[in-house]
A and B are shown apart, each in its own frame.
Chain A
Amino acid sequence: MTTVMEHPASAPGKPAAKQPLIEKLNIFTAFGLGIVMAILFWYLARTFLPENTEGSFIKTRLDAVTIIGMLGWFFGFMTGIGALIGPFRWLLGRDLNHDENMFYAGKDQGVKRYFRYTTDHKVVGIQYLVITIIIFFVGGTLAMLIRMNLGRSGGAWLQPQTYNAIVGTHGIVMIVGTIIMITGPFGNFIMPIMIGARDMAFPRLNALSFWLIVAAIPPMLSSFFFGGISTGWSAYAPLASQAPPGMDGYIMFIVIFAISTMVAGANITTTVVRMRAKGMTWNRTPIFIYGVVASVALALPVFPLFFLSQVMSAMDRALGSTFYDVRGGGSGWLYENLFWIMGHPEVYVILIPAVAALMEMAPVFTRRPLFSFNVAIMGIAGISGLSILVWAHHMYVTGWAPLLNGPFMLTTELISIPTGMLFLVLIGTLWRGRLWMTMPTASIYALLWNFMIGGITGIYLSDVPVDGALHGSMFVTAHFHYTLMGAGLTGALASLVFWFPKMTGRMFDKTASWVAFWLVQIGFNVAFMGMFFVGLAGQPRRVDAYAALFDQGNKITTMAAYTIMAGMLVLLYGVISSWTNGAIAPMNPWHAKTLDWTVPNPVPLENFDVLPVVTSDPYGYGKAQS
């Protein structure tokens, strides 16, 4: 290992200088200490917590022991990776010196920096990319298991409880994967360079937000060994209160992930507000930056409510509080409100950066300015603002506040107006442009098609009477896959191909990108069209078996789902082969005009030798002065 830390040379006959603590910590010490602490906490809880008896302050000892064990894991992992060094050094008044900060930035550490608490935003971006791929791999494998079970009527090769656990885990894993798929890899790697900054505003918080996600995953996956997440991703109370201890894994996962989201939201927003290059006025700030900031700024106030809902769920399960238990004065509607106040904006937390990324690419591949930059910003702002006023459309059939159904229907349908603005911007940019047909360009068309179907079916579902008929059916499942996957994931895959040269210094394999694109898009549309039809015919979601009536639609969906998987595997092959053996990428292979393409490959540690001064907008294609 080469580092910039200078150790005092050892005099002959004297012991070698001690290696500083921060150099010793890495992912292996994190996992090691996490496991030791989990076992220790679990053992202590098991030994000292009172039995489930009348008058005991513990309601369900098993849940309390499970949660305490997971807390042990969490504290052990974060200590082992080095997250606590900074705060305690601050407390002691021994701030990190320049050498230590350079070490944290990963200077001269080669590949080892990817396994440490490294603060360089580019390292964090790559770490996010890898963890996103892993999350999608896990979630995708679970999806294939679901489709395998639904391949024929009667299902039956999975036990109903196992099936439910797989559906619930698939749901929440994919939601988290799609939340981080743009803002994680590209928001971290590309965004600071795009605004002309040397790093994020808070590099250590940046590393913290990533490692929190890593810490959150084992509790989640461990839930399979404790009865799984049998409630679906929404974990409705009081169903969740009665679920097996696997539910505690879900709770811990959400609590840790919510902290990560809050930290990342504050960090990214501060970076953009305070660290844009001189001359980069808001009118000259690229649209992708708006998308990323809107996404994280939207998450900032809504995820704490998700966090709160899960804290109360944990208290109900382990301590016997009655927040959601009607026998003790609680209310299931309380959970549903807290959950959906987060749950609906979260859809736009996923969608907005994906659409913004494609809006960033559209001018590049049409060689035209972005059509109506101001309308794009109004669209993003409109969606963000309205998205926090629509949550109860998920609750029409629950009986909560029927008088509010009408207003919530109205606000939900209003959201189609700013969404339409984003469509207008994309179509206006493509209109009569001289297209450079690449996989990202095709993805813009795919997004328009998929998002149109997802959006229009969303308008149906926002309608109170129609929702009464379709709620809880496969139609709903198909609808949200059209938005989150058809639009969101399409934007993310295009972003991967587009920014891959800057992130890795290699061009993405063109053939692999096209093969993956067509397999995924054809497979996706066939799979979820089939799901719309069986949903309209009445097939319920989250049920492991179905009537013979739905056989044909499900067979088609299952076959098409495997086509998507094949496409994703081709894409994974493309990532690995291009990263290892791909053609060396020039500095600006797409001839784009944003600042991220003005830095060399590989990007230097501090991005810019001298900070740039921006003198025009980023979409001045075809203008003489640009």
Chain B
Amino acid sequence: MSVETHAHSNPHHEHPDVVGSRNRLGVILILVADITFALGVLFVYFYLKGQNVNGMWLPPASDTQSATSPVSSSGAWYLAIIAGIGLLSHRYALMGARAKSQSQLVLGSGVAFLLSLLGLIYQGMQINSASFTITMGAYASCYYLIAGLNFMHLAFTVFISLGNWNRSRLGLYQNDHWHVDIVEIWWVWMTVSSLLGAFALSFT
């Protein structure tokens, strides 16, 4: 391999766009893993539903326990709506960052954080209020798996949206805003995964 050595201008301090572009690809690749995981969860749901082994997808009532009644999927759709509004709020913040509007950035990211927190609490309440336990058949197991995954996603969203709001508040995005761009990628996936969960739970 022939090599020439040219000094790049300021090689130790890359342009924020270069760093941002690289980080965006890295986040997307990590999301590939999470997307595969989420699709795997959907596969589990529909596989067990389709197999209905021993008629125990939704077990009927027995001497020892009552029948498993599926939860209404409306709760999952409400969560998807919360995630969607969170995404729009974050998008509003990103537009503020691009327009160098600090107040819009702080407001949008703050609202996005509050919505992620609301979603997390609501998801927790949903898990607590299910009328069955995880042991009551394959549907119950899958429901807790999907709800648990969404809970974990929301917990992570709370973390990054809190950080994003705090950093906006401190004025750290005045020069470059690729962090905000990358957080948006997560919000998009958060919303899509909530939609997928709601979609699956609509088929009982």
The answer to whether A and B belong to the same complex is: yes
List chain A positions with a Cβ less than 8 A from chain B: 55, 57, 59, 87, 90-93, 95, 198, 201-202, 205, 262-263, 265-267, 269-270, 273-275, 278, 284, 286, 300-305, 307-308, 311-312, 315, 319-323, 326-331, 334, 337-338, 593-595, 598, 606, 608-618, 620, 625-626
> Which B residues touch A57, using CB under 8 A?
133-134
> Which B residues touch A614, using CB under 8 A?
1-3
Q: Which of B1, B4, B6 is within 8 Å of A618, CB to CB?
A: B1
> Which A residues touch B52, using CB under 8 A?
329
Q: Please measure, in the bound complex, the distance between the C-alpha atom of A312 and the C-alpha atom of B141, giving whole angstroms.
A: 9
> Which B residues touch A598, using CB under 8 A?
3
- Which chain A residue shows the least CB distance to B30? A266
Asked if B3 contacts A615 (CB within 8 A), the reply is yes
Asked if A328 contacts B22 (CB within 8 A), the reply is no
Q: Please measure, in the bound complex, the distance between the C-alpha atom of A93 and the C-alpha atom of B106, giving whole angstroms.
A: 14
Q: Give residues of chain B (114-129) contacting chain A, Cβ–Cβ below 8 Å.
A: none
Q: Please measure, in the bound complex, the distance between the C-alpha atom of A205 and the C-alpha atom of B30, giving whole angstroms.
A: 11
Is B15 an interface position by the 8 A CB rule? no
Asked if B135 contacts A322 (CB within 8 A), the reply is yes
> Which A residues touch B8, using CB under 8 A?
278, 610-611
A612 in contact with B172 given A300-B32, A329-B53 (CB within 8 Å)? no
18 contacts between A and B (CB under 8 A): A92-B163, A274-B21, A274-B22, A275-B22, A301-B32, A302-B36, A308-B37, A308-B44, A320-B133, A321-B134, A322-B56, A323-B142, A329-B56, A329-B139, A595-B3, A610-B7, A611-B6, A620-B2
Task: Report the minimal beta-carbon distance from A590 to chain B, rounded to whole angstroms.
Answer: 13
- Which chain B residue shows the least CB distance to A311? B145
Asked if A312 contacts B22 (CB within 8 A), the reply is no
Is B185 an interface position by the 8 A CB rule? no
Asked if B29 contacts A265 (CB within 8 A), the reply is yes
Q: Please measure, in the bound complex, the distance between the C-alpha atom of A594 and the C-alpha atom of B30, giving whole angstroms.
A: 29
Q: Please measure, in the bound complex, the distance between the C-alpha atom of A530 and the C-alpha atom of B195, giving whole angstroms.
A: 55
Asked if B159 contacts A91 (CB within 8 A), the reply is yes
Is B175 an interface position by the 8 A CB rule? no
> Which A residues touch B25, using CB under 8 A?
270, 273-274
Asked if A323 contacts B22 (CB within 8 A), the reply is no
A301-B36, A319-B144 given. 6 additional CB < 8 A pairs? A55-B133, A304-B36, A321-B145, A327-B56, A611-B5, A616-B2
Task: Report the minimal beta-carbon distance from A470 to chain B, rounded to whole angstroms.
Answer: 29
Interface centre among B3, B7, B32 (most CB of A within 10 A): B3
Asked if A308 contacts B41 (CB within 8 A), the reply is yes
Asked if B33 contacts A265 (CB within 8 A), the reply is yes
Task: Report the minimal beta-carbon distance from B133 to chain A, rounded to whole angstroms.
Answer: 6
For the complex of A and B, 7 pairs with smallest distance between CB atoms = A329-B56, A329-B138, A321-B141, A266-B29, A304-B37, A91-B163, A320-B135
Task: Report the minimal beta-carbon distance from A197 to chain B, rounded to whole angstroms.
Answer: 11
- Which chain A residue shows the least CB distance to B166? A93
Asked if B37 contacts A328 (CB within 8 A), the reply is no
Asked if B135 contacts A59 (CB within 8 A), the reply is yes
Q: Please measure, in the bound complex, the distance between the C-alpha atom of A314 and the C-alpha atom of B106, giving whole angstroms.
A: 41
Asked if A312 contacts B26 (CB within 8 A), the reply is no
Asked if B48 contacts A625 (CB within 8 A), the reply is no
A610 in contact with B137 given A267-B26, A331-B51 (CB within 8 Å)? no
Task: Report the minimal beta-carbon distance from B148 to chain A, rounded to whole angstroms.
Answer: 9
Is B176 an interface position by the 8 A CB rule? no
Asked if B2 contacts A270 (CB within 8 A), the reply is no
> Which A residues touch B40, using CB under 8 A?
304-305, 308, 338
Task: Report the minimal beta-carbon distance from B171 to chain A, rounded to whole angstroms.
Answer: 9
Is B203 an interface position by the 8 A CB rule? no
Interface centre among A90, A265, A286 (most CB of B within 10 A): A90
> Which A residues touch B7, using CB under 8 A?
610-611
Task: Report the minimal beta-carbon distance from A114 to chain B, rounded to whole angstroms.
Answer: 24
Q: Which of B1, B3, B44, B51 is within 8 Å of A312, CB to CB?
A: B44
Q: Please measure, in the bound complex, the distance between the C-alpha atom of A311 and the C-alpha atom of B37, giving whole angstroms.
A: 11
Q: Which of A265, A327, A595, A611 is within 8 Å of B1, CB to CB?
A: A595
> Which A residues touch B141, using CB under 8 A?
312, 315, 321-323, 328-330
Q: Please measure, in the bound complex, the distance between the C-alpha atom of A323 and the C-alpha atom of B138, giving whole angstroms.
A: 6
Task: Report the minimal beta-carbon distance from B101 to chain A, rounded to whole angstroms.
Answer: 19
> Which B residues touch A263, using CB under 8 A?
30
Q: Please measure, in the bound complex, the distance between the C-alpha atom of A598 and the C-alpha atom of B1, giving whole angstroms.
A: 10
Q: Which of B11, B32, B57 is within 8 Å of A611, CB to CB?
A: B11
A315 in contact with B134 given A275-B22, A327-B56 (CB within 8 Å)? yes
Asked if B138 contacts A201 (CB within 8 A), the reply is no
Q: Please measure, in the bound complex, the distance between the C-alpha atom of A266 and the C-alpha atom of B35, giving whole angstroms.
A: 13
Mask: chain B, 136-171; 1 = CB below 8 Å from A; 0 = not: 111111101100000000000001001100110110
Task: Report the minimal beta-carbon distance from B30 to chain A, rounded to whole angstroms.
Answer: 5
> Which A residues touch B57, using CB under 8 A?
329
A91 in contact with B166 given A270-B25, A300-B29, A328-B135 (CB within 8 Å)? yes
Q: Which of B138, B169, B170 is within 8 Å of A322, CB to CB?
A: B138
> Which B residues touch A613, using CB under 8 A?
3-6
Task: Report the minimal beta-carbon distance from B8 to chain A, rounded to whole angstroms.
Answer: 5
> Which B residues touch A274, using CB under 8 A?
21-22, 25
Asked if B1 contacts A201 (CB within 8 A), the reply is no
Asked if B1 contacts A331 (CB within 8 A), the reply is no
Task: Report the minimal beta-carbon distance from B60 to chain A, rounded to whole angstroms.
Answer: 12
Task: Report the minimal beta-carbon distance from B26 to chain A, rounded to whole angstroms.
Answer: 4
- Which chain A residue shows the least CB distance to B163? A91
Interface centre among B22, B55, B141, B167 (most CB of A within 10 A): B141
